Structure 1
């Protein structure tokens, strides 16, 4: 069950993102970012974190410390990536050989794939951990992961295309990266079966990534479009995203 669901979750989000990237207008993609913010924050605060704190033996002080460490850790990772990207700028006065800029873009494409593979591995661990608590919670977690991964995968797909990848290669490599969820799920099953005390901390780390992505990356994007109509649409879509998670959580409880 874990292998089937992790494979399905990894590939479904990639395929949905690829089809949406190629068919929908940028405006629709922007709307999906707003929806994703609601889903990410609600999944973290209304589902994953409560689940972590309710697991027998979980220590509140250490769980909050893990949440803080996760947020700061993701900040440092993003800071390193930004510093790596900013060492070269167009028109910086340096002489670069022909094709240098394309190589720079290509390297950013590979970095996206590496980061996405790690993220998918963690998603697989989370799905396996949830399945070991309850099958329904596992299925809900997989659905939540698919929902929050689609906007991210759209961004990754667009970055890969801009980095010079063909559509077929971008889809292939994104698909391989999606299957890292299976690896994470299988390893987590055998590891967590003997060490269930790790499960609440994994749930908190996953929650910290959801919170960080929403607050640090997605919400600032939304603030760049400060028109009344756009703002009202964003608020409504965030509310819809939260509502989806609330309905699914209530249904599972």
Structure 2
């Protein structure tokens, strides 16, 4: 099941890359829905489950919530260090930064896309570790990963294509990004993580997901597009996860 869902994640990444090449008209609605799904999974499944799995504390704070903050901050630091957001935001937003016209921009775009490949490998690890916590947790983690892999594929191709007429490096990185979750999930089949570490890790992953939704996916969804429909798509995603979690509980 772990590898099967990782393969689905792989396919969703490729779909996102193809959308970056071909589809533009309704992208904001798809990204709005994806952001809502991710927010719902983090709030209604991962955080509650992480608190149930672990009673450890760090300086009096539940360890899963400390992990949550670390996950959010870590992705923010990585994003700022690799300039992922700065390099692909001009594909969506109506404004431009002065550095967008500077020489060497294409190399930075490739570096950003490569960072997203590494992130997708972690996604595969997250699917496997989620299933080590329990089947229901694994399914919801996989759902979150699959949902945001559309945006990952979209962003990988977009970043790698910046200031380049040759699309071959972007296609290579898109394929690598698609295969990375499968590799990550396969690793977890060989390694068992102690249950004491699963709670903090799920909290950490929830923080990562929240950052992706709030700082990456939803801003992209709302730039240059009617915001009411996008907000409705986001709300639909949140309500769908709430209903699924409630029905399963």
Same fold, TM-score > 0.5, yes or no: yes
- Please tell me whether the aligned partners of residues 52 and 203 of structure 1 are also in contact (alpha carbons under 8 angstroms): yes
CA distance in 2 between partners of 1:133 and 1:200 (Å): 8
Judge which range, 42-51 or 194-203, deviates more. 194-203
Structure 2 residue 231 is matched with structure 1 residue 231: no
Residue pair 1:3, 1:186 contacting (<8 A) in 2 also: yes
Whether 2:66 is the aligned partner of 1:65: answer yes
The answer as to whether partners of 1:137 and 1:252 remain within 8 angstroms in 2 is: no
Query: Is the contact between residue 41 and residue 214 of structure 1 (CA under 8 Å) also seen in structure 2?
Result: yes
Cα separation, partners in 2 of 1:167 and 1:139, compared to 1, 3 Å: farther
Tell me, in whole angstroms, the C-alpha distance in 2 between the residues paired with 1:135 and 1:168.
39
Would you say how many aligned residue pairs link Structure 1 and Structure 2? 237
CA deviation map 1:107-156 (0-9, x unaligned): 12321232112211221121111222333442343232111221232122
Q: Deviations over 1:195-234 (max 9, x none)?
A: 2222122212211111112222344445655x8xx22212
Larger Rg: 1
Residue 39 of structure 1 deviates from its aligned partner by 1.5
1:89 paired residue among 87, 93, 99: 99
In structure 2, which of residues 27, 30, 36 is the aligned counterpart of residue 32 of structure 1?
Answer: 30
Counterparts of residues 38-117 of structure 1 (less than 5 Å): 38-59=36-57, 61-82=62-83, 89=99, 101=103, 104-117=104-117
Q: Give 1:154-169 correspondences, 5 Å limit.
A: 154-164=154-164, 166-167=166-167, 169=169
Q: Structure 1 residues 141, 238: CA separation in 2 closer, same or farther (over 3 Å shift)?
A: same
The change in CA–CA distance for 1:209 and 1:18 in structure 2 (over 3 A counts) is: same
Alpha carbons of structure 1 residues 3 and 76: separation in structure 2 relative to 1, 3 Å: same
* Larger deviation, residues 149-158 vs 161-170: 161-170
Structure-2 change in CA distance of 1:179 and 1:252 (3 Å): farther
Q: 1:252 offset after TM fit, Å? A: 3.9
Deviations 1:34-82 (A, max 9, x none): 2222112111111111121111545462222222222222222222223
* Alignment partner, residue 18 of structure 1: 17
Please name the residue that 1:95 is paired with. none
- Structure 1 spans left out of the alignment, 5+ residues: 92-99
SS of the aligned residue for 2:99 comes to: coil
Normalized against structure 1, the TM-score is what? 0.79
Comparing 241-250 with 38-47, which one deviates more in the overlay? 241-250
Alignment of 1:113-128 (within 5 A): 113-128=113-128
The residue aligned with 2:147 is 147
Return the TM-score normalized by structure 2. 0.80
In structure 1, the partner of 2:216 is 217
Q: Does residue 249 of the first structure (1) align with residue 245 of the second (2)?
A: yes
Once the two structures are TM-superposed, the CA of residue 167 in structure 1 deviates from its matched residue by 4.6
**Alignment-derived partner of residue 96 in structure 1:** none
